[in-house]
């Protein structure tokens, strides 16, 4: 049994803080790995309040940390991520570990290859401590799955941590690693960030490679980091974005200002922001979260010289409020995309989506979604074409709204409701504003409700304006800091 590691060395510390400590020799990567693993033992398993966020541990993490410590002594660090423990959502293919997408259907799936982003992070010297629990097949926003059950929110273990990257969100909030990777098809990075008092970014579609991420929707999937600070997020983003010949979408970023996000990070002297009122309160129950957002924006007007304009657009609302809550393309994509993944990985043992459904092993909350995709996939191609065309309408409406009102970004709650109780339906997501337009959006902590539940402010900008979003979020973080360690895991 290893001796306990002093949590003061790593608890809520930034990547830069830890690199300085590693450089001084006041801590080693081995000690960091052991300390985070001890926290997992304490808070993630074996008790009624266990968070249940880690699905698979890397049993070679200590040995990898030792090798990286030796490399640091003899050659110096590879990057700011050298020897930094991270977590990866369980839909990223990762050598030496299972990739099960939270499903009993994929329980034996362990491809010996790394997703593009995982390979980039390992090359930078990061240590993958484990794979995080996720909503099964990434097809939902509460993080339940047939292989592990339900993950819990560290701010209130009776509630969900958001999803589908809820395991990553809860684990990083609880300090089980320094940063984590999620994926966002419709809110799956941003909702866990909002529910867990974190920063999360959905980049412009094409910013980050999808290669090696088990697909939900090829037209909407994108990977990205969740972090406790904007600077940490910027560091991981730099390491993982850019052109990948195995993902043709990444060619869309050619000629754009991609990377070097950390060095360009700054607090802005002022900003013009448009608040989407019709996406702040749509039902009376949305008022609680809206109140936190209003308080945050009022504070930023005073502390950060923001000018906030209340905006609305009937064209935008009409374009977003589509059949299936705007998710028709996603629902239809999944059938084709999962069938393609199964054909490329016959060892999984299922021919297609219908075979997965017939096995009847998926979580009861997920099985209806699988049926919906199977049923809708039999529909008319014209429906898909029509709904894809609506994305250009959404995108045009958003860009017109920003340009006509001369605002830097649009603002709204990431999700208009707090985290729901375990087993209850989660409502209130605004995920499709960014997902259906392909525009970048960042979630940053905006404060807490009266009963201590986190709320996220989402900011959306024109395509390839990730640096602007990072700077806006950094301004929020500096002028109105809201990071708070969950009471359960202090």
Average pLDDT, the chain: 96
- Say whether pLDDT at 155 is over 60: yes
Give the C-alpha separation, 405 to 426, whole Å.
33
- Say whether pLDDT at 406 is over 60: yes
- Say whether pLDDT at 5 is over 70: yes
- Say whether pLDDT at 178 is over 90: yes
DSSP element (H, E) containing 120: helix 116-123
End-to-end, the C-alpha distance of the chain in Å comes to: 23
The whole-number average pLDDT for the span 105-120 is 98
The whole-number average pLDDT for the span 321-348 is 96
Q: Model confidence at 489, in pLDDT bands (50, 70, 90)?
A: confident
pLDDT tens string 14-33: 999 999 999 999 999 999 99
- Say whether pLDDT at 245 is over 60: yes
E strands within 15-65? 54-57
Dihedral of alpha carbons 86, 89, 92, 96, sign: positive
Strands 271-276 and 306-311, sheet pairing: parallel
Give the C-alpha separation, 141 to 356, whole Å.
21
Q: Model confidence at 379, in pLDDT bands (50, 70, 90)?
A: confident
Task: Return the closest-CA partner of residue 445 out of 487, 473, 464, 408.
Answer: 473
- Say whether pLDDT at 421 is over 80: yes
Q: Tell me the CA distances in angstroms from 159 to 21, 41, 54, 195, one per residue in order.
A: 36, 21, 17, 10
- Say whether pLDDT at 387 is over 80: yes
* Full 3-state SS string of 123-157: HCCCEEEEEECCCHHHCCCCCEECCCEECCECCEC
Number of other CB atoms surrounding residue 45 within 10 Å: 12
- For residue 13, the SS3 value is coil
Residue 381, C-beta contacts closer than 8 angstroms, at least 6 positions apart: none
- Say whether pLDDT at 402 is over 70: yes
pLDDT tens string 264-319: 999 999 999 999 999 999 999 999 999 999 999 999 999 999 999 999 999 999 99
- How far does Cα 311 stand from its chain's mean position? 27
pLDDT at 2: 53
Residue 48, C-beta contacts closer than 8 angstroms, at least 6 positions apart: none
Give the C-alpha separation, 199 to 446, whole Å.
10
Task: Return the closest-CA partner of residue 233 out of 168, 293, 296.
Answer: 168
Residue 440, C-beta contacts closer than 8 angstroms, at least 6 positions apart: 201, 202, 203, 204, 207, 434, 460, 461, 463, 464, 465, 466, 469
Q: Model confidence at 12, in pLDDT bands (50, 70, 90)?
A: very high
Query: Could you identify the residue written with the tokens 């037209």?
Result: 219
Task: Return the closest-CA partner of residue 126 out of 211, 240, 23, 220.
Answer: 240
Task: Return the closest-CA partner of residue 323 out of 163, 432, 416, 399.
Answer: 432
- Say whether pLDDT at 146 is over 90: yes
The whole-number average pLDDT for the span 191-220 is 98
Give the C-alpha separation, 107 to 204, whole Å.
32
Give the C-alpha separation, 154 to 160, whole Å.
9
pLDDT at 1: 42
For the domain 7-489, what is the CATH superfamily, name and number? Amidase signature (AS) domain (3.90.1300.10)
Give the C-alpha separation, 189 to 403, whole Å.
27
Top-ranked range on mean pLDDT: pick from 9-13, 133-137, 252-256, 383-387: 133-137
Task: Return the closest-CA partner of residue 247 out of 119, 375, 403.
Answer: 119
- Say whether pLDDT at 324 is over 80: yes
Share of the chain above pLDDT 70, in %: 99
- For residue 85, the SS3 value is strand
Dihedral of alpha carbons 462, 465, 470, 471, sign: negative
pLDDT at 9: 86
């Amino acid at each position: 049994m290893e001796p306990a590691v002093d949590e003061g060395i790593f608890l809520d510390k930034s990547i830069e803080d830890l690199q300085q400590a590693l450089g001084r020799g006041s801590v080693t990567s081995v000690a960091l790995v052991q300390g985070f693993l001890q926290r997992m033992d304490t808070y993630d398993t074996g008790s009624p309040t266990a968070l249940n966020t880690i699905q698979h541990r890397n049993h070679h993490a200590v040995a990898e940390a030792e090798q990286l410590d030796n490399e640091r002594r003899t050659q110096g660090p590879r990057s700011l991520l050298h020897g930094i423990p991270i977590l990866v959502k369980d839909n990223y293919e990762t050598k030496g570990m299972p990739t099960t997408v939270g499903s009993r259907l994929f329980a034996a799936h362990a491809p010996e290859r790394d997703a593009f982003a995982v390979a980039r992070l390992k090359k930078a010297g990061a240590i993958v401590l484990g794979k995080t629990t996720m909503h099964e097949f990434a097809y939902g926003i509460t993080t339940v799955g047939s292989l592990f059950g339900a993950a819990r929110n560290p701010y209130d273990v009776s509630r969900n941590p958001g999803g589908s990257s809820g395991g990553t969100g809860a684990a990083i909030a609880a300090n089980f690693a320094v940063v984590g990777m999620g994926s966002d098809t419709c809110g799956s990075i941003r909702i866990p960030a909002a529910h867990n008092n974190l920063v999360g970014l959905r980049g412009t579609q094409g910013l980050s490679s999808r290669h090696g991420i088990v697909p939900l929707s090829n037209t909407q999937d994108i990977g990205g980091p969740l972090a406790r600070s904007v600077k940490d997020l910027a560091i991981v983003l730099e390491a993982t974005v850019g052109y990948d010949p195995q993902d043709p979408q990444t060619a869309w970023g050619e000629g754009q200002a991609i990377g070097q996000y950390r060095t360009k990070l700054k607090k802005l002297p002022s900003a013009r922001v448009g608040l989407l009122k019709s996406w702040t309160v749509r039902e009376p129950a949305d008022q609680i979260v809206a109140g936190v957002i209003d308080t945050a924006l009022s504070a930023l007007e005073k502390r950060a010289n923001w000018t906030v304009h209340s905006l609305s657009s009937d064209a935008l609302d009409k374009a977003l409020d589509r059949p299936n809550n705007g998710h028709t393309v996603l629902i239809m994509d999944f059938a084709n995309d999962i069938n393609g993944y199964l054909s490329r990985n016959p060892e999984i043992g299922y021919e297609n989506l219908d075979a997965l459904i017939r096995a009847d092993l998926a979580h009861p909350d997920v099985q209806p979604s699988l049926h919906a995709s199977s049923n809708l996939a039999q529909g008319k191609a014209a429906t898909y074409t029509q709904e894809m065309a609506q994305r250009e309408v959404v995108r045009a409406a958003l860009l017109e709204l920003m340009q006509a009102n001369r605002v830097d970004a649009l603002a709204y709650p990431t999700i208009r409701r707090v985290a729901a109780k375990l087993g209850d339906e989660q409502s209130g997501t605004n995920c499709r504003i960014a997902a259906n337009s392909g525009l970048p959006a960042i979630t940053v902590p905006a404060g807490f409700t009266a009963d201590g539940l986190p709320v996220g402010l989402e900011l959306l900008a024109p395509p390839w304006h990730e640096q602007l979003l990072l700077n806006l979020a950094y301004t929020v973080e500096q002028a109105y800091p809201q990071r708070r360690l969950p009471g359960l895991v202090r």
